[in-house]
Amino acid sequence: MKAVEVKKGIYWVGSVDWDLRNFHGYLTQRGSSYNAYLILDEKVTLIDNVKSHLAEDLIARISDIIDPAKIDYIVQNHIEMDHSGSLPALVERCPNAELFASPKGVEGIEKQYGITRKTTAVKSGDTLALGKRTLHFVQTPMVHWPDNMVSYCPEEKILFSNDAFGQHIASSERFDDEYSLGITMLEAAKYYANIVLPYSAQVQKALAVAETLDISIICPSHGLIWRTHIPEIMAAYRKWSANTTDRKALIIYDTMWKSTEMLAVAVKNAFERKGYSIQLINLQKNHISDIMTDILTASHICIGSPTLNNNILPTVAAFLTYLTGLAPRGRTGMAFGSYGWSGQSVGMVEESLKKCGFDMLEQVRIQYIPDEQTLLSVTKQVEDQI
Ligand code: FEO
């Protein structure tokens, strides 16, 4: 794949990772890309780079346009290794390049790679003159690490947004209007739910800054470049970062002898009767990172586990660990489950959901196999609360 011109003199020179299927626990069924951008100006500038195993691919793509030794500036918007892993190789191949990153970025580059040469820390409000163009830096800490920043080029109206607005998609297409918008938005939602969600307050601050900028292209560090559907992705980020939900209930469970599954169906029936959109999600058949995508817009999260060895099932424990780490807010939760004798599981699930700060519906805790009358009363109990 050749370099792709984003705008006259500005090229995508990143790498497509067709094989990626797991990004620290997040299933990436469509692979990903690590986007780097080359700006030809009086000062030749490279923004971000790619994972270390793709360094030669990046360098070959840059070489299609210009001798990498002619790069004057390397801007590192974020130092996570998917965007900085090729920095050691670049420093060798670009002997004159000066490096720019946020103060935390500069610190991380030294700690991760031992690179201190020609490195300058930049903060919000700082600018870098490239010639005809300028880069304006805005720090966006915790979107996604403390070092994150974005770079805005007012002359081209381009925002180089790094992780923000990204999607894990491997494709030969580079622009949002060349690829299915439905899939792009779904993958952007999955990316937000699994990577960005804990930092929604910081996203809102970054959005407030972005809304003051005149933007015609958003160049993220993963997936498609936004040039046509910017209003849609901006509206989605406003909704997701505000924890605004739809009238949607997720009933998420695992089961040993089907009793908890029967309760899950009874809970589902209550939401159906009240006209909610519902999803019945068996943890044995669904990946936690896909469930998180659905949680992004769900108003009610009901989680069921039977008791096993005075505890919850391992699948439920793994999901709750993931959920509490990603810290969605403003939802209503509910715990349910069956038990034989000790029955601790429902209380344990409830405690985890309370840690998320959810409002709670009354728990459902049933011994042995629920009969038809019990299931009807579970449905009524839930229905009466929603
Ligand atoms: Fe795509 Fe936080 O790295």
The CATH number of whichever domain residue 354 belongs to comes to 3.40.50.360
Same domain for 21 and 43? yes
Same domain for 222 and 365? no
Same domain for 126 and 196? yes
**Residue 152 has which token pair?**
């805005």
- The verdict on whether 191 is a catalytic residue reads yes
Residue 143 has pLDDT above 90, yes or no: no
Q: Specify the pTM.
A: 0.95
Same domain for 160 and 204? yes
Same domain for 87 and 203? yes
Q: Provide the pLDDT for residue 1.
A: 79
Same domain for 190 and 331? no
Catalytic residue, chosen from 26, 37, 73, 78, is 78
Residue 163 has pLDDT above 90, yes or no: yes
- The verdict on whether 83 is a catalytic residue reads no
Same domain for 106 and 189? yes
Q: The domain spanning residue 141 has which CATH number?
A: 3.60.15.10
Tell which residue, 361, 356, 348, has the closest CA to residue 313: 348
Number of H helices, E strands in the chain: 12, 22
How many residues are listed for the chain in this entry?
Answer: 386
What are the pLDDT digits (tens) for 315-373?
Answer: 999 999 999 999 999 999 999 999 999 999 999 999 999 999 999 999 999 999 999 99
Any atom of ligand 1 within 6 Å of the Cβ of 350: no
Buried residues in 218-257 as b, exposed as e (16+ CB within 10 A):
bbbbbbbbbbebbeebbebbebbbebebeebbbbbbbbee
Same domain for 231 and 281? no
Same domain for 269 and 339? yes
Per the structure, the complete domain to which residue 257 belongs is given by 249-383
What are the pLDDT digits (tens) for 167-194?
Answer: 999 999 999 999 999 999 999 999 999 9
Same domain for 227 and 260? no
What are the pLDDT digits (tens) for 310-322?
Answer: 999 999 999 999 9
What are the pLDDT digits (tens) for 47-98?
Answer: 999 999 999 999 999 999 999 999 999 999 999 999 999 999 999 999 999 9
Same domain for 85 and 230? yes
What are the pLDDT digits (tens) for 259-299?
Answer: 999 999 999 999 999 999 999 999 999 999 999 999 999 99
Residue whose CA is at the smallest distance from ligand 1 atom 1: 163
**In the listed set 177, 206, 241, which residue is the last one of a domain according to the structure?**
241
